[in-house]
Structure 1
Amino acid sequence: MSTPIDLGRPISGDVIDLILEDHRRFESLMRQLRDSTSDRDAVRRALAALHVAHAEAEEKYVYPTLRRKDAITEHEAEHGEEEHAEGHEAMLKVLELKGTDTQAFDDAVEELATALNHHLTEEELTILNPARDEVGEQVRADLGKAFATERNAQLDADCGSIDNVRRIVEAAEKEGLLDDDDDEDEESDD
């Protein structure tokens, strides 16, 4: 039986601080996932739960509020959602692999790390920095409470289960959030 991984259970705070705390958790979990001596199965399940809970809370509360406050553009919000979808898709590949000690697993982890690291960097630069400058402390505190509440509710609902991640990826494909160009390029090479 694997040891549960603490994902934190904030209930309030400045939304920027809460998001950054999760970003540092993502980085820590990715380091553990790359470590062949860690309980990689437990780590990938924790990472999936955190990724889905975090993304759902941002998309439900953070992006729309920052958009209404003109801290970010509609394009930046949509781009954040596209990057969440790409992260979910990469996460699903990691979850679907049976073994965690194979080259296929390491390759899937590398793909996930690339998607996740890109998103964290871009979000911190293009969404969180403007939020600091354009949104007042009270709004950020109110948004922090809403973000934390949704994040915790998602974790309680087992949001990182393979079935739920698969459902999210399928919905993102239908919404056009995932770029199919790579698949088309591969097919044209056949």
Structure 2
Amino acid sequence: MAGDVVDLIMQDHREVERLFDELKDEPDKRPMLVPVLTTLLSAHSRAEESAVYPVAAAEADEADDVAHSQQEHVEADQLLEKLGKTDPTSGEFDKVLQNLIDAVTHHVEEEETKVLPGMRKNLSDERRAELGEAFAASRKEHLGDQPEDITREELLQQARNADVSGVASLGKEQLKKKLQEESEE
């Protein structure tokens, strides 16, 4: 049994924070750690987007916060892609890493003070356990994924989570661009 979805999400948050510290403190490990961070964050995001956010919006009365969180996921994906393409020995890497840390830290703080408490309050223990199973299964399925591996269906789910309408006919690249524009507003 996977456990309470809120606890699982928070465990991932702590692991990401640990990886951030290691990336900042041990530059020689960066070439090895960037793919680990990218894989974890990508799998975590896709699992939240598919298994958690729709339920949090519909059943836990968290639609506005979910839409905002989804936009932050789009921003994090962009920053992860940029980090992966940046030479880990360059000064630019530190800037991109800090931008990613700032964005993800902000997202985690909001999620842990708004969305997750709402889920604890408004969803039963059993429902959170069911979501924990779904989150863990989706996360496992997406381990190894990179931000650029996102599918059109996953982009459509992001659009639904972010309450972006009129995108069903868009192709993958158009959809990705529309979500990026929405996240910048």
Greater helix percent: which structure?
2
Match of 1:137 among 125, 130, 134: 125
CA distance in 1, matches of 2:148, 2:102: 23
Matched, 1:24 2:14: yes
Give the whole-Å Cα distance in 1 for the aligned partners of 2:28 and 2:137: 30
Q: Is the 8 A contact 2:5 2:128 kept in 1?
A: yes
Q: TM-score, normalised by structure 2?
A: 0.82
Deviation (angstroms), 1:47: 0.7
Structure-2 residue corresponding to 1:164: 149
Question: Percent identity at matched positions?
Answer: 32
Preserved CA contact (<8 Å) 2:43 2:138: yes
After the TM superposition, which residues 19-58 of structure 1 pair with which residues of structure 2 at under 5 Å, given as runs? 19-58=9-48
Deviation string, structure 1 residues 124-161 (Cα, Å, up to 9, x no partner): 01100111111100000000000000000001xx212x
The aligned counterpart of 1:184 is: none
TM-score by length of 1: 0.80
1:102, distance to aligned residue in structure 2 (A): 1.3
Shift of 1:163: 4.1
Structure 1: segments with no counterpart, 5+ residues: 1-10, 182-190
Counterparts of 1:77 and 1:93, CA distance in 2: 24
Task: Count matched residues.
Answer: 165
Shift in CA distance, 148/177, structure 1 to aligned 2, threshold 3 Å: farther
Aligned match of 2:163: none
Counterparts of residues 85-100 of structure 1 (less than 5 Å): 85-97=74-86, 99-100=87-88
Q: Please name the residue that 1:61 is paired with.
A: 51
